[in-house]
């Protein structure tokens, strides 16, 4: 069961790499890395938890920037 979580995270990560839309890519990667964190917690593997946490923060920041920039563009047009 725990390994299934890891495989789902890998699958989502691969799917995100195939996406052309940057927002969907970021969201899919954020979900995948959240699953990696959960997987790392179950395995008690700090490197997985640490790496996944950094990736989640980076994706969340970029998603926030993307949305903010799109809102600004919509106001000016």
Residues 60-70 have pLDDT tens digits of 999 999 999 98
Tally of helices (H runs) and strands (E runs) in the chain:
3, 0
Q: Rounded mean pLDDT of 32-50?
A: 97
pLDDT score of 6 more than 80: yes
User: What do you get for the CA distance between the two ends of the chain, in Å?
Assistant: 50
Hunting for tokens 């699953």 — which residue is that? 35
CA distance 56 to 77: 32
Q: Angle at Cα 16 formed by Cα 14 and Cα 22, nearest 5°?
A: 155
What are the pLDDT digits (tens) for 8-38?
A: 999 999 999 999 999 999 999 999 999 999 9
């Amino acid at each position: 069961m725990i390994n299934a979580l890891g495989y789902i995270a890998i699958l989502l990560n691969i799917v995100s790499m195939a996406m052309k839309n940057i927002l969907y890519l970021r969201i899919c990667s954020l979900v995948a890395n959240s699953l990696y964190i959960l997987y790392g917690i179950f395995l008690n593997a700090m490197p997985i938890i640490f790496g996944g946490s950094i990736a989640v923060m980076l994706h969340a920041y970029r998603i926030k920037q993307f949305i903010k920039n799109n809102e600004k563009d919509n106001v000016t047009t």
